Structure 1
């Protein structure tokens, strides 16, 4: 039984430089987000994602990353809360801002999507989910929605044509409505009562499979499929299929709405070290510590990326001209084959296949996402990974 931890009603001292206490309306905005992303349960109800106890020794310093110029300043300028660099099972270097530590959990935002992708991949391997089947075949309640006749593979790759706005700054956008329904912001009159009702209300905007459309609701549909085929809560499945098999040291958590539905598209919090194990799993072909978590075929498919032509209109192409999306992971399409998971305000798992390096970055950037921030992070990860080429 998944334990639901209600949001606390009391508020801690405001983060330095803030002129007021964080509220349900403001906790995601700078400067409150610097404190709030590490304390999500103060605002939103959460469900635990239990781990098995594990220990890793040593706290390397950043000076082990030889050849990366001005790294301390670059991390500070990029509002870094945590940085972890791992190579082939070895913890190479890490950084934590003042007030944040290796055992503190941090909100992952849309990096959560990539964890969902692995979980769905594992269920596909076991024959519980058919990627070629329509969503309605797995979740009949979605038959009349935008997702009813979309295949699971199209949802995984975000090629579902759905009437959905992902504008984080527009209070009338669908993504902001999802925030409210998930308990991340105060509800508006007329909002659906829970995520089940919200997803069922979405309508198609055209034929599926013809172009990439980044849509956070897609991931929540996947979570609904996970719950439907297993008969269990998403947090329980994620714990059993991913977190415990990764032998993570600390529990993770995911925020839940009034019906207990998980905010799978952005609500997971965990430590930076444990998140790095997700990256290690991907570079190791789906097996880590002698445990097969997801098939090598699924990992190879994901690392190969999707059809770049489908993402031709995506803003990320300004930073990565060959970018594509596959199985809830981004591919840069560059010569190094870099693949990554990313969340707004600067959350990352960055994979560098040539060196076997995984970089995890947790941040509280003031803006949700801009081309400039994409460029800053891409350059930072490039320089870190290239330092291992020597």
Structure 2
């Protein structure tokens, strides 16, 4: 591995530096020892079974064309990208599962912005039940936001990260919005005191721009509309119904408010179950042999079915360089992969849930990259997941051979050489 030593507790690790190297090799597995957290309950029901595949995957034999022009194996990519855990599910069976020293299948690991997708699922369920209205302005649910740049933004704008609020997601800027957010989370006033301070920079409904504040406002809206806290919402609406085997945890600030944009910690196996839920259209098997709906199928279909407006919003954003032909919808990323379109839940420092419908494959990678963002690590990881998908199903890569209905004429969904591009998460 990139660092073969067993992660150990550093005397100087704290809530302020836990994501920094080398501390994060240990702290990613031990968030509750660094920050206050709340339990996301897996409930009392049975866990969704994850049987082993009859023919396990040999990661040393699956080749990957890497972004630097070399050809290596999936194992090489894992070794070179500070991997803490890697697990693969194909047709509902575990094809591979590996953990670095210090980790394990029963330990929760920080998933950072993968949390956003869980919050998006909560919002989708509340919309389906009529608790939320996607066209309603956020101040209808949270009056404290009326004087802010979020005034007039709809729930839909938050889901697709298209509000006009001013917030800079730049981890290299010491005074940028993401840095200010971190400081408020560590302060006495907390997250909900920070969000109303944000101003506006453009009209709502413009191009997509990835910003953690969008999910934090969405989480606040969900809590107010439902009357429940986010830890309970995720547990009761998603985590327990999908058949999780272990409790997850979510970081909270000093006021007890959940960090909606990136506070979750979970096991790799339960993230496989979450990916499988997304793969199967939001349903899970029930004990009687039928299926039970957890996520609204229409809401998931909406996310997968890119249209002209969603593509235009994405192509005008910096994210197009990283995922040419992709889109962002309902707090999920979508990328044109070697085996068809792929849904992604992603977090900084290398957290990933990869869902390929064409190959019926889910990959989970948990990492502790030294830097928040690394374009080469990201692209190599995604190429490795594509290679795994192809090896398991023995399918031929599709490349870019289709254009989805409704996509604006002239907007390419790929077709050019893949390049690392700037990181966007």
Q: Same fold (TM over 0.5)?
A: yes
Q: Is this contact kept in 2: 1:84–1:276, CA < 8 A?
A: yes
Give the unaligned 5+ runs of structure 2.
1-5, 64-72, 286-290, 395-425
SS at 1:265 equivalent: coil
Task: Give the aligned partner of residue 382 of structure 2.
Answer: 378
Kindly provide the CA deviation profile for residues 209-244 of structure 1, in whole angstroms up to 9, marking residues without a partner as x.
111111101111111111111111111111100111
Q: 1:107 aligns with which of 91, 101, 110?
A: 110
1:20-169 equivalences under 5 Å are 21-52=12-43, 54=46, 56=49, 63-64=57-58, 67-69=61-63, 70-169=73-172
Task: Give the aligned partner of residue 10 of structure 1.
Answer: none
Provide the aligned length of Structure 1 versus Structure 2. Answer: 369
Kindly provide the CA deviation profile for residues 55-96 of structure 1, in whole angstroms up to 9, marking residues without a partner as x.
546677964558513332321211111111112321221111
Kindly provide the CA deviation profile for residues 76-121 of structure 1, in whole angstroms up to 9, marking residues without a partner as x.
2111111111123212211111121000100011000001111110
Give the unaligned 5+ runs of structure 1.
1-13
Q: 2:330 aligns with which of 327, 334, 340?
A: 327
The question of 1:269 aligning with 2:270 is answered no
Task: Give the aligned partner of residue 216 of structure 1.
Answer: 212
Cα pair distance change 1:272/1:305, threshold 3 Å: farther
Q: Could you tell me how far apart the structure 1 residues matched to 2:276 and 2:57 are?
A: 22
Q: Could you tell me how far apart the structure 2 residues matched to 1:138 and 1:220 are?
A: 14
The question of 1:303 aligning with 2:304 is answered yes
Task: Give the aligned partner of residue 372 of structure 2.
Answer: 368
Q: Is this contact kept in 2: 1:164–1:202, CA < 8 A?
A: yes
SS at 1:362 equivalent: strand
Kindly provide the CA deviation profile for residues 315-351 of structure 1, in whole angstroms up to 9, marking residues without a partner as x.
4323321121100000114560111010001101101
SS at 1:103 equivalent: coil
Task: Give the aligned partner of residue 248 of structure 1.
Answer: 244
Q: Could you tell me how far apart the structure 1 residues matched to 2:336 and 2:146 are?
A: 35
Q: Is this contact kept in 2: 1:161–1:213, CA < 8 A?
A: no
SS at 1:182 equivalent: helix
The question of 1:318 aligning with 2:312 is answered no
Task: Give the aligned partner of residue 229 of structure 1.
Answer: 225
Q: Could you tell me how far apart the structure 2 residues matched to 1:304 and 1:242 are?
A: 22
Task: Give the aligned partner of residue 288 of structure 2.
Answer: none
Give the superposition deviation at 1:27. 1.3
Cα pair distance change 1:341/1:19, threshold 3 Å: closer
Structural RMSD (CA): 2.1
Cα pair distance change 1:200/1:93, threshold 3 Å: same
SS at 2:341 equivalent: coil
Q: 2:176 aligns with which of 170, 173, 178?
A: 173
SS at 2:17 equivalent: coil
Kindly provide the CA deviation profile for residues 39-58 of structure 1, in whole angstroms up to 9, marking residues without a partner as x.
11111110110113545466
Q: Is this contact kept in 2: 1:162–1:205, CA < 8 A?
A: yes
SS at 1:338 equivalent: strand
Q: Could you tell me how far apart the structure 2 residues matched to 1:374 and 1:315 are?
A: 16
